[in-house]
Structure 1
Amino acid sequence: MVSPGIVVSVLLLVSTVTANKLDFLLKFLAETERDEASLRYLQERQEVTTEHTVYGPLCIAVSYKLFLNPLSWEEARQACEDDGGMLAIIRDQTVHQFIKDYITEAKLKSSIAQNGKGLWIGLNDKEEEGRYVWVDGEVLDSDDPDTYAPWADGEPNNNEKKDSNGQDCVQLWKSRDFAFDDAYCENVVDKGYICQYTECDPTCAKCA
């Protein structure tokens, strides 16, 4: 069962389209009357249950939920799987930017700052230092210039000050505009997390 917390559902197009993918997304939202006041729209769609508050969804194809209740990376990975998804995979600047824009518009930064100062995503180098692997098994190829890997300045650094095992799990770091950052996986600072779901939400008005 997913732990109590705030959940935000955002559905994004992750297939490769044109160079103006973000413009396409915003145009789509405008055409469906969802960009003028997205926050108001989300609040109107708010559902309150005994477990969590859900905002959304904004619909295109693939859904992401932002859970703000802090967990360790492994607990977050398990929570996503228990909820029918996986920790988020962000291989594309458009998806990354759209999530960041949504966090800003939904005014979630202060809540994230109070819950671990970041959001776990599905990337780690727990098995081999420096070899980052997504939860779907694909290796992040840092040597490939086409690989999307927006690390914060000076990261990853595998800091061992608070844990001799180093930092093996990746977050979107609030303090660095939600850039990638390696962080301690557990027993130091728990964080919120982002789950990814492969199926379009059935409440969506339109799915690509």
Structure 2
Amino acid sequence: MDADRVGDAFAAVPRTWFLPPSQQPRASYDGPLDIGHRQTNSQPRTVESMLRLLDVRPGDRVLDVGSGSGWTTGLLAHLTGPEGEVLGLELEPDLVEFGRTNLTHGGWPWARIEPARPGVYGDPAGAPYDRILVSAEAPELPTALVDQLAPAGRMVIPVHGVMLLVEARGDGQPEVSRHGYYRFVPLR
């Protein structure tokens, strides 16, 4: 992905919009910030790395698993542009509402946040997706999410402390590469 596109997204989608008022003065801090409900707004450097690996293109259909405060959903919406579609999923009902409210700052009608269904990874009914971003750590690579990738699709997901890039291939066997060590809240 063109490095400027990710940088432009960060400039266009300020982290401040997606933080509780008590955390807004700390928006420039390069670390995770508490958003309540044992969840965090992820470290900017980590989000940037994930977005570069994901390589979102204009017009992509993107699934944002663990959308939290909605920041990644907004960043993804900027990257897909109005010809794309972004679905954020979040388990915590209060954060679904918080994220939805936060998204209104950017005016991205092609992006939305919906409640995740407990025990269901992603959005099987809405698949396939060109890109899937997972902002919670899985104990192992969830086949259910891999199966939701479109041909030539990409997923970025932390698994057992390692950031993985999963690329769908025509033969049905995904290509998986490792990209550093990270800590996230658990994927439920």
TM over 0.5: no
Coarse TM-score class (shorter-chain normalised): under 0.3
Please report the TM-score for the alignment, with normalisation by the length of structure 2. Answer: 0.27
State which structure, 1 or 2, has the greater radius of gyration over its C-alpha atoms: 1
Higher normalized contact order (CA 8 Å, seq sep 6+, divided by chain length):
1
Please report the TM-score for the alignment, with normalisation by the length of structure 1. Answer: 0.25
The structure where helix makes up a greater share of residues is 2
